[in-house]
Every structure is written in structure tokens, then in C-alpha cells.
């Protein structure tokens, strides 16, 4: 059974998708069979792996969540060996609404993964910027949650709500859910603000903070427009080095 890691934070723009795509790609580069699942209707992880909307429309995560297609039929290979993708699609924003009336609506992704998880060592799930049903599905299916925190103003704002959701899911839906760790993103060591936020996050989360911080790196922001994870776009960039180091920590956690 693959280890399932949800990348979650209900704030937008904190680096969830960048982390999901690049952590998954780096795990694959380390020859770990890895499945990336895009649970966000914005489908940024999908396009970030070079899959166009017209292709994703044919078979994506919502077809599986709603029971219209098997999970195996929507998995795609990517340009990176060992990296597979279940895409998302913008047209299916309505699927979340459709799911609300379904029985065991929180456990749809868990059900999908039971069919296919044995084929992978790691499964990385990119969550949308909300604590709605799609994120709840991800947290219910996951072994652990990785929380990216942007080194910016109000970094810790809203985290109480996320931690509370995690506790509720541990209590009612998924007792095995753990916090994989907190990841500092868009860190800039030259800025007082970045250093202050990092110190604050470390004093709050202690040993749960990954040793690797993701520094601000323009190559990470450019790569998605070429449909490439950073290890394809610019393997020598600091961003690629940071995400390889994060993958090493994730693998080391066992
Ligand atoms: P989320 O999925 O949480 O909304 P994204 O991963 O899409 O966040 O990141 C938000 C924006 O910041 C994107 O334009 C992305 O390319 C950019 N970005 C993310 N991480 C970095 C980084 N370390 N350095 C520079 N830009 C980054
Ligand atoms: Mg995103």
C-alpha cells in the first residue's frame, strides 16, 4: 500500500500545488513509483504536469469520485518515469455539489485508492484552497497531511481552523491521519519578515517543521507554464534542490 500524503491549507497561494507537483516528481526521480492526484477544480497540478484541459476532460478524478469511471482508467503516465497523474478539470466544479447528496460522501477518494494504491509507493494529493468536501475526502483517505506555510504576513492565520478540521477527521473519519510536517515556502533569508515567520512557525510546531525550507525561486514559478515539474525545467535551480531535499526527508520518515 502506498503512503498517502495530502497537501492541505485552505489558504490559496501558499505553495500547495507547487509542493504537490514537485514533491511527487522528486519522489519519482528517486525511483519511488508515485501517483499525483489533483483534487482541485482549478487543475493547476494537472497543467503543471503538461496535461491539457481537453485531455483531462476525457477522464479525471471527478469521473472516479462520482463512479462514472474506474480509477485505473483515469491514471496517466507523465514525462517523468515512475510519476503518474490523476488529473482534474475546471468544468467539474459542480461535482463537489453532486457529491454532497451521496452516501459515504467523505470516503469516495478512500474507496478509489483502495483499488489502486498497491501499485505505488507514494500518493500525493493536491487539495483545493478550502476545507470543503474535496479536502475532507483527501484527509479521510490520507495517512498524513503536509501543511505548506508561506513565509508572509498572516502566515499562521487560519491554521487553527485547519488543525481543528484535522482533529475532527482523526476523531470521526480517519484515526490514522498524522501530520507529516509543516513546510515553510517562499522563504527568503534576506528578509526579516521571512525569518520572523519561520521562527514563529518553529516555536508553534517544533519538530513537526521540515528541516528543508522552500526558498523563493522564480524558476519554480516559471516551470508550470511549460507544463514541467522543476526537475525537468531546471534541475540545477535552488527550487529543484529544495524539493529533492524535501523528498529525502519524506522518504527518511519511513
Ligand atoms: P496554492 O496551490 O497553495 O494556491 P501555488 O503552489 O499555486 O499555491 O503557488 C502560488 C503561486 O506562487 C504560484 O504562482 C507559484 O508558481 C508561486 N510559487 C510557489 N512557490 C514558489 C516559490 N518557492 N518561489 C517562487 N514562486 C513560488
Ligand atoms: Mg493550488
Atom of ligand 1 nearest to the CA of 216: 24
Going from the Cα of 208 to the center of ligand 1, the distance in angstroms, rounded, reads: 22
- Per-residue pLDDT, averaged over 212-241, amounts to 98
What is the pLDDT, as a whole number, of residue 128? 97
Average pLDDT, the chain: 95
- Per-residue pLDDT, averaged over 160-178, amounts to 97
Neighbours of ion ligand 2 (CB under 5 A): 16-17, 44
The b/e string for 193-213 (b: 16+ C-beta within 10 A; e otherwise) is ebeebbeebeeebeeebbebb
Going from the Cα of 138 to the center of ligand 2, the distance in angstroms, rounded, reads: 14
Q: How confident is the model at residue 11 (pLDDT cuts 50, 70, 90)?
A: very high
> Would you say 96 and 134 are in contact if contact means Cβ atoms under 8 Å apart?
yes
- Per-residue pLDDT, averaged over 171-198, amounts to 96
pLDDT at residue 124 greater than cutoff 70: yes
**Interval 88-102: pLDDT, tens:** 999 778 888 888 899
Going from the Cα of 127 to the center of ligand 1, the distance in angstroms, rounded, reads: 14
Q: How confident is the model at residue 254 (pLDDT cuts 50, 70, 90)?
A: low
Q: How confident is the model at residue 225 (pLDDT cuts 50, 70, 90)?
A: very high
Closest listed ligand to the CA of 15: 1
Q: CA–CA separation, 144 vs 166, rounded Å?
A: 10
Cell of 173: 473519519
Which residues is 168 bridged to in the sheet? none
How many C-beta atoms surround the C-beta of residue 78 within 10 A?
Answer: 22
Q: CA–CA separation, 46 vs 6, rounded Å?
A: 16
Going from the Cα of 193 to the center of ligand 1, the distance in angstroms, rounded, reads: 18
Non-local CB neighbours of 42 within 8 Å, separated by 6+ positions: 88, 90, 128
Atom of ligand 1 nearest to the CA of 224: 16
pTM confidence score = 0.97
Amino acid at each position: 500500500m502506498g503512503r498517502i500524503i495530502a497537501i492541505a491549507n485552505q489558504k490559496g497561494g501558499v505553495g500547495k500545488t507547487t509542493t504537490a507537483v514537485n514533491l511527487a516528481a522528486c519522489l519519482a526521480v528517486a525511483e519511488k513509483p508515485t501517483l499525483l492526484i489533483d483534487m482541485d477544480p482549478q487543475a493547476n497540478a494537472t497543467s503543471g504536469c503538461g496535461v491539457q484541459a481537453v485531455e483531462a476532460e476525457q477522464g479525471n478524478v471527478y469521473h472516479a469520485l462520482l463512479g462514472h469511471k474506474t480509477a485505473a482508467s483515469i491514471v496517466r503516465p507523465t514525462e517523468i518515469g515512475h510519476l503518474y497523474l490523476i488529473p482534474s478539470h475546471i468544468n467539474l466544479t459542480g461535482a463537489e455539489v453532486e457529491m454532497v447528496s451521496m452516501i459515504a460522501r467523505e470516503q469516495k477518494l478512500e474507496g478509489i485508492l483502495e483499488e489502486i494504491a498497491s501499485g505505488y509507493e507514494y500518493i500525493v494529493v493536491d487539495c483545493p484552497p478550502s476545507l470543503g468536501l474535496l479536502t475532507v475526502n483527501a484527509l479521510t483517505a490520507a495517512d498524513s497531511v503536509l501543511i505548506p506555510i508561506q513565509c508572509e504576513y498572516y502566515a499562521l492565520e487560519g491554521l487553527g481552523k485547519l488543525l481543528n478540521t484535522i482533529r475532527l477527521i482523526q476523531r470521526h473519519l480517519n484515526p490514522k491521519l498524522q501530520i507529516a510536517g509543516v513546510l515553510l515556502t517562499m522563504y527568503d533569508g534576506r528578509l526579516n519578515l521571512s525569518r520572523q515567520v519561520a521562527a514563529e512557525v518553529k516555536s508553534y510546531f517544533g519538530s513537526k517543521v521540515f528541516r528543508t525550507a522552500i526558498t523563493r525561486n522564480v524558476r519554480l514559478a516559471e516551470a508550470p507554464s511549460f507544463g514541467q515539474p522543476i526537475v525537468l525545467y531546471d534541475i540545477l535551480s535552488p527550487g529543484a534542490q529544495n524539493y529533492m531535499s524535501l523528498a529525502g526527508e519524506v522518504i527518511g520518515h519511513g
